[in-house]
Structure formats: C-alpha cells, structure tokens
Amino acid sequence: MKGKDITAKKRFEKCTLYDVERVLYKNGSVAKPLCRLLYCRFCNDLRYYNSDLIQVEVDSHYCMHALDNVPTTEAIMKKNRSRSYWQCPACPSVLTQKQSWVIEENPEKPEEPFQRKTHYMQCPFCHWSTRDLGIPDAPTAGSWPEKENLNQSRINELYEYTKQLSLQQASLSKSKASRKITKVAGKIGGFSPMLLNYSMRDDGSAKKKPIELDNPKTRTLEELDDLPEEYLSEDGLDFWKTTSLKQRFDQPEYQPELTKDLYPRRLTMGVKRSLRCRQCDHNLLKPEFSPSSIKFKMHLIATSFIPEIRLFKPSAFSTDSLSANVFLTVTNPTHSPMNIILLPFCEEENEESYRFPKITGKIMLPADSYEIPAKDTLLDYSCLTKTTENLQPSEDGKIVLPQPNKIAFNCTYQSDGVESSEGAADKWVALRIKHDTLDQKQQSIWISHVVFIKISS
C-alpha cells in the first residue's frame, strides 16, 4: 500500500469493531492484537506478519482501479505501475478521461469544418487537468506520453551493478538452502528467478566482466547553496505555486518544486500475497487468485484457533482506590470444546521488555480450569444482556453468558501504587492463558500465551 499514514492506521485500530488494541498477545518480541496474528498449526505457535519467521510471497499483481490481473513479468517491466490509469499529481485521486470535440478546418471544403474527438485527463477531486500543464489532448484515450527521467541512465547503471553483485553472490553459495532463498529473493526483489538459476550454472562468468560504477554526482553539505532571497522577502514566495513535501515525495524521481512542473504518474499496482511459515515451510495464508475475491485457499488466522480474551467494559476507577473489578470474557472459536486455565504472569526483565506495555498492577484470577463449549455456527448470535447486573457468578467464579462458546470472569485488579505520571491514565495488566488444542496427530496438547490487557477506559 502506498502512502501509509501511521496516525490513520492507529485510528483504525482504535475506532472500529472491538477496540482491538486493548488486548495484546505476546509473540516473540512484539505484542499485537489477535486479529493481526497467524497461527501455525504445524508448529503450534503464533506468528506475526512482519516477523522473521514469516516469508512473504507475491502471488499476483493487479491494477487497483480496474481490478484486473497483470502477469508478473509485465508488472516488473512496467515497474509496478498500471497500464491505463494515472494518478493526479496534486492529490492521490485517480484521473478520469474526459472527451471533448475540436472543430478543424476541412481543406477540401472550407465551408464545412469537421469535428474531431479528443481526450484529456481531469482529477474528479481537485479538478487538476492535463490542459493546466499544457499537455496536448490525445486523439485516443490512454495514449499519454510518460515524462522522461533524466536520471534513468544512472538508475539503470546501478540496477545492473546490483544485479551483477547478486549473481556473484549466488554463484559463490552452492548449498541447496541458499539457492532456495535466492530464488525467493529474486521473485520478491524483481530479478528473474530463471536468470538467477542460469547464472548459478554459469560458474564465475559474472566475475569476468565487472561493471565499474562512476563516482556519484553528489555534493557534500558544505557545498549546498544558500536559501534564495525570494524565500526571505515578504511577498516574494507564492505558496500556491510551490509544491508540498508530500507532492514531492510522491514523485521521488522528479521532485518538482513548482506546481507547474507537476506531471501525472501511473497508478501503483496492488499485490496479492501469501504467507508461509519459515520453520515448517507450510502456507499460513493464501488468497484466491482473483483480485476482487475475498476468499482464501488457506486461512490460518489466529482468531480461528486461539481463545480470544475481551474486556466486557472498561473498569471504573475512583481517585483514591487502588483496586477495581475487571470483567473479562473468553471465547472459544473452535468447533471442539476447549479447556482453559488463567495463570498469573511473572514479569521477566530483559532487553526487549520496553516493547511491551508497562504493567501497573496485578489481577486476581480464578484458580480452576474451565471447559468452554464448542462454537455452534448454526446458532444465531444471541444478544449480550444490556447490563451486567443480571450476570451472577456461580460458585466457581465463572459467569455463563447467553452465547454458548463464551464465558466471563469477574476478577479483581490490585494496583502496584507506583504508576508513572505519564502513564497514569492507562492501566495495564498481564496474564497467561493456557489452553488445550489438537495437534496434527489429533492428540491433545497444551499451549500458553501471555496477554496484555488495558483495563482503563
């Protein structure tokens, strides 16, 4: 995805559905919401998308506007840019093709001029058009010239040099494992795997003709020009004619400073990717080939295997008290009954502890093990009761909810009393959930996960 905005992404996590950032499952050196984790049922462990244990493979490229598949070779050749759709240089919208009629003189019959259809592109949002830039109208839709990149020869030179380096590296490593990795790296990185295999057979040929790079035409900081005086004068700079930083970063090869130099660029392609566990080499996620399909051939998402802990409602904290009631629910997502045990979490001091939320207190958990019934897909979702007053705990502390595959616990939070001033608003607790599951041999095994829960509102 292009143009990632961290604040917008955070906003998505907080605003939607269940406020998923409240409950984080520890996976290696990160703590992530369960919906962002995968479960490898062959290794019986959680996997995070961006971790080293996940291998990302690009299945197919597609145009994000037309939603049609593009062959991988063509996508590489087009530099992952769409064939027929262009993006507005001033805003991220897709340009639309507009028709207009031009009256031209008829040399044979001057009294009867004929009309000719022409096309131009216009942004539906900011109304920027190719006519603003002075690009002549095209006789057919889609036949737009691409702006020439002045640094293209240098980029090609660097590309060839990098390719040669990778070929040398590949020829040096003869082991089977290293070959496999190089093949995948070639697929992801844009080099042809066939070419890499060929080069591996061709021993040392890449060494014979080394490409020598010219010195880069860069300047040291001392040689930078001073700020032009027009920027410093009172009315010397017109911001309407100057591009924003975002507009410049959108076109890194040109980086136009003035709005009159903005040129439309082709729309970036999207990719369908599948994820593979590096330890067992099994596919964890494999979408269907069609770009508009939402189905998966393989879909080992963690929420389908791991019991999900949710906070029923934020705990109420008074100003003086150091304790509060915490109302937790545990859902069994599988189609077989599941036994769970909630255990206290022993904090381990290590180098990576700063990556996890700071725990502000302890939570008193029920000591027994509980069996949660299986999920019944035929049963309609029953409503949760409107107040928690009707939900009385049984003798063992368990609260039975209308949904059969969900149980609730009323626990007590006890603060440590040493909360930092900046993190006083957020109160985090941690616990370890242990549950049984079936492995590949259909034998019951117990696995456990550390869970961080934000109990304050």
Partner 1 sequence: MEIRVENCDRKHFLETTTRNRVSKMAGLFGSQNIVLSGKVFVGPTCVIRGDLAHVRVGKYSMIRDGTILRPSLKHFNKGVAFVPLTIGEHCLIEENVVVSAAQIGSFVNIGKNAVIGKRAVIKECAVILPDAVLAPDTVVPPFAIFGGAPARPVGKVPDNHQEAITELTTTFYQNTKVEDFGKGK
For partner 1, the binding residues (CB under 8 A) are: 1-5, 8-9, 11-12, 15-20, 22, 33, 35-36, 62, 64-67, 91-94, 96, 123-126, 270, 285, 291-294, 296, 299, 301, 303-304, 310-314, 329, 380-384, 386
Quote the tokens at residue 127: 């109304």
Look up tokens 């006890």; give the residue: 414
Which residues share a beta bridge with 371? 339
What is the number of other CB atoms lying within 10 angstroms of the CB of residue 403?
19
Q: Closest CB to partner 1 among 365 and 455?
A: 455
Q: How far is the CB of 243 from partner 1 (least distance, A)?
A: 17
Specify the 3-state DSSP secondary structure of 249. helix
Q: Closest CB to partner 1 among 206 and 338?
A: 338
What is the number of other CB atoms lying within 10 angstroms of the CB of residue 339?
16
Q: How far is the CB of 277 from partner 1 (least distance, A)?
A: 15
Q: Closest CB to partner 1 among 186 and 333?
A: 333
Q: How far is the CB of 196 from partner 1 (least distance, A)?
A: 29
Q: Closest CB to partner 1 among 308 and 433?
A: 308
Q: Closest CB to partner 1 among 64 and 133?
A: 64
Q: How far is the CB of 17 from partner 1 (least distance, A)?
A: 5
Distance CA 264, CA 135 (A): 11
Quote the tokens at residue 333: 């997502």
For helices 176-189 and 152-172, the axis angle rounded to 10 degrees is 160
Q: How far is the CB of 309 from partner 1 (least distance, A)?
A: 11
Q: Closest CB to partner 1 among 63 and 196?
A: 63
Q: Closest CB to partner 1 among 367 and 425?
A: 425
Q: Closest CB to partner 1 among 42 and 49?
A: 49
The single-letter code of the amino acid at 256 is P
Q: How far is the CB of 163 from partner 1 (least distance, A)?
A: 30
Measured at the CA of 84, the angle between CA 74 and CA 8, to 5 degrees, comes to 95
Q: How far is the CB of 453 from partner 1 (least distance, A)?
A: 10
- Burial (Cβ within 10 Å: 0-12, 13-18, ≥19) of residue 24: buried
Length of the chain: 457
What is the number of other CB atoms lying within 10 angstroms of the CB of residue 434?
15
Q: How far is the CB of 145 from partner 1 (least distance, A)?
A: 23
What is the number of other CB atoms lying within 10 angstroms of the CB of residue 34?
24
Residues 6+ positions from 285 with CB-CB distance below 8 Å: 38, 274, 275, 296, 298, 299, 300, 301
